[in-house]
Structure 1
């Protein structure tokens, strides 16, 4: 099993052309995530949109992998991720006639996402509600900007993709939507997301997807407390996989029942959560 897993992971690992002492560190989570997404696709189950926290969203290779697979995403990033404005255009410096021809580059240094967000000012942010909580609507103030994610790795990925597709690269970085949250009681923006969804995607939909982590946490509580994910007491890997498979199947069944039309009626047993935890 381990040899088979490694055979599938190894082709996804980045090359080591410039390694000095020791191997180049690799984020195993990203490799495994790619394997899981591809395996789901092999079953005909491609996610319409993928959401992730900054542990994944911060990684340009991860975002590029989703782009290459045609999967839409809304992923969190830290405030130090750099971007160019949407209307920025690369220019090619004149060639001196000797040496390598200069490559097209943007005139200005990219800015951290916090800069354009703060520069817009509070009046540019609008209020949006993403769900009903236990104490009423959950809302905050948001702003959506079209940007071009930058950075050394982003440039290399863009160059490689364009060269493979067209044989050359004009220096233009792909566009993305930057979603920013600036709560009313905060002195500065607090959270940032990048998305490759169409530019016309309503901000309300971007906010709903960016804030959908509550659903993941709810499902995990249901798996753990209601369906016994943490009740396994065996010692074998086979037993653990058997246990997790049954728990996952039970959760899929409950989810299907909740989504069925009959779940809209108050008397339906499928509307009752199997977890004692509060969902809000």
Structure 2
């Protein structure tokens, strides 16, 4: 499906075919969750033989492990994704129950529950945190304290993605892949404040991890500009093609303004003074 047909369509619409027909929604368009739409975009990018070095996502895309396993385009990409809850420590290992002789052997499983990210971060020690400045903001340098840990993702989705990633070629050994966890502990806070999980190696410079993790703030700024400054959310049409036309024009305007902002600034020509010359004295 081409990129121009990737707008989210809720079930409220897809469950009413007559409503979709009146709005000129193509018959092949069905309800797809946000993360499946993201998969489609990544796959299309790969088909165009284009490469995004790093993909960033917020905590709403908690299926990042499934995305990496299921998308040919995503498997070749690196990503940091904001996370909130828990993980297994790097040294955690699954145990396989003894075979009782009936049915297939039980799969290996982690006997201990995952631990809160805040607990893992505190246990790493304050000496592991270093000060990083990632950009200059309107109020000065944007600086905070960060540490990098190696963990294993937790949750049923992570288990399913790990099993699927072997593609049925061999029996899964039950060991979840290691992931890099970036932890931010803002100055003056009693506990760590934010977490990002990534498939980038733990040897990646912390400054690079921070810069990529914080890129989402810039994306949110651009999105607000699209909505409020350029009218992305002002569309009041009634057709699927009309909505796409509106989005295309708004994004083209955003691209033009961005290029103008990033382009070299021309020097203003010198203007002759209009003030009268002081009188001459003898």
The normalised TM-score by structure 1 is 0.75
Cα displacement (A) at 1:107: 4.5
Cα displacement (A) at 1:231: 4.9
Residues 2-56 of structure 1, C-alpha deviation per residue, up to 9 Å, x if partnerless?
A: 42122x95xxxxxxxxxxxxxxxxxx22222222222333333332211111111
Report what 1:216 is aligned to: 219
Q: What secondary structure is seen at the aligned counterpart in 2 of 1:213? A: helix
Cα root mean square deviation, aligned: 2.7
Q: Distance in 2 between matches of 1:230 and 1:152?
A: 36
Q: What secondary structure is seen at the aligned counterpart in 1 of 2:82? A: strand
Question: Is residue 36 of structure 2 the alignment partner of residue 31 of structure 1?
Answer: yes
How many residues are treated as equivalent by the alignment? Answer: 243
Q: Distance in 1 between matches of 2:71 and 2:259?
A: 27
CA contact (8 A) 1:92 1:103 kept: yes
Q: What secondary structure is seen at the aligned counterpart in 2 of 1:172? A: coil
CA contact (8 A) 1:60 1:153 kept: yes
Question: Is residue 77 of structure 2 the alignment partner of residue 75 of structure 1?
Answer: no
CA contact (8 A) 1:146 1:176 kept: yes
Larger RCO, structures 1/2 (Cα 8 Å, 6+ apart)? 2
Which has the greater radius of gyration?
Answer: 2
The normalised TM-score by structure 2 is 0.75
Q: What are the equivalent positions in structure 2 for 1:211-250 lying under 5 Å apart?
A: 211-250=214-253
Report what 2:3 is aligned to: none
Q: Distance in 1 between matches of 2:62 and 2:79?
A: 9
Q: Distance in 2 between matches of 1:212 and 1:224?
A: 19
2:54 aligned to 37, 43, 49, which one?
Answer: 49
Unaligned runs of 5+ in 1: 10-27, 270-280
Q: Distance in 2 between matches of 1:185 and 1:91?
A: 41
Classify 1:239/1:155 alpha carbon distance in 2 versus 1 (closer, same or farther; 3 Å). Answer: closer
Classify 1:152/1:232 alpha carbon distance in 2 versus 1 (closer, same or farther; 3 Å). Answer: closer
CA contact (8 A) 1:66 1:73 kept: no
Q: What secondary structure is seen at the aligned counterpart in 2 of 1:193? A: strand
Cα displacement (A) at 1:252: 2.6
Larger helix percent: 1
Residues 62-98 of structure 1, C-alpha deviation per residue, up to 9 Å, x if partnerless?
A: 45446853221111111x2x32222333333433444
Residues 196-234 of structure 1, C-alpha deviation per residue, up to 9 Å, x if partnerless?
A: 123321111111111112211232243345444345454
Report what 2:89 is aligned to: 85
Q: What are the equivalent positions in structure 2 for 1:1-280 lying under 5 Å apart?
A: 1-6=25-30, 9=32, 28-57=33-62, 60-65=65-70, 69-78=75-84, 80=85, 82-164=86-168, 166-256=169-259, 263=263, 265-267=264-266
Q: Distance in 2 between matches of 1:61 and 1:170?
A: 18
